[in-house]
Structure 1
């Protein structure tokens, strides 16, 4: 059934409706979309590399069938999950910092100047 599907053509198909816009500049939205797509591709590559390393450690050689049918055990799954969370945290850190800055904006510099310039008795 899935052999009849042209996955390359499907991956380029346009979704119905308008593209969601999150930023004022459409180019920024496209850049983030591209970055997240590349992040997902690299995540899949990292998982496949982990499989290759584990199969080599276990048996010393590889065959495609073993690679394609590999299922991680509980320990390997937990290690992969932790590694993936760390990877995503690193990739998304810039976004997280922006959210944190919006939630807890720094006071204007003039507030600090006023506070530091105030007489010692006024702050006590």
Structure 2
């Protein structure tokens, strides 16, 4: 069986329309690139975690050991925390902007009461 062409698969066009989050399509493309890079870094962090755990356990590691490593429940939990913290750091600016919007806009109850009373 032949090896798949990973470059061709990575460049394959997705079905449907590309989502637009910003007025400038260049900003959407930049966001897409940044999020793809963030995903690659996350994968590398998991691989590094696997490597460190195997080295701690065995003192030496083969490629087969690394490829075959399956994290236990504790490692999975720690990785879940690691990913949440990582994502929070990456999206911190977005979160701060959303929190700032919440501070500016009146609560829905206030708007509802004003509309009801007018």
Class of the TM-score when normalised by the shorter of the 2 chains: 0.7 to 0.9
Question: Any idea what SS the aligned residue of 2:91 has?
Answer: helix
**TM-score normalized by the length of structure 2:** 0.82
1:103 deviation in Å? 2.2
1:39 deviation in Å? 0.4
1:106 deviation in Å? 7.8
Corresponding residue for residue 70 of structure 1:
69
Corresponding residue for residue 35 of structure 2:
36
Corresponding residue for residue 24 of structure 1:
23
Q: Within 1, Cα distance between the matches of 2:16 and 2:87?
A: 29
**Mapping 1:79-94, distance limit 5 Å:** 79-94=78-93
Calculate the aligned-residue CA RMSD, in Å: 1.8
Corresponding residue for residue 58 of structure 2:
59
Identify the range of structure 1 (16-25 vs 63-72) with the bigger mean alpha-carbon deviation: 16-25
Structure 1 gaps of 5+ residues are 108-124
The number of residue pairs the alignment matches comes to 106
**TM-score normalized by the length of structure 1:** 0.78
Structure 2 gaps of 5+ residues are 107-118
1:85 deviation in Å? 0.8
Q: Within 2, Cα distance between the matches of 1:102 and 1:42?
A: 30
1:76 deviation in Å? 1.0
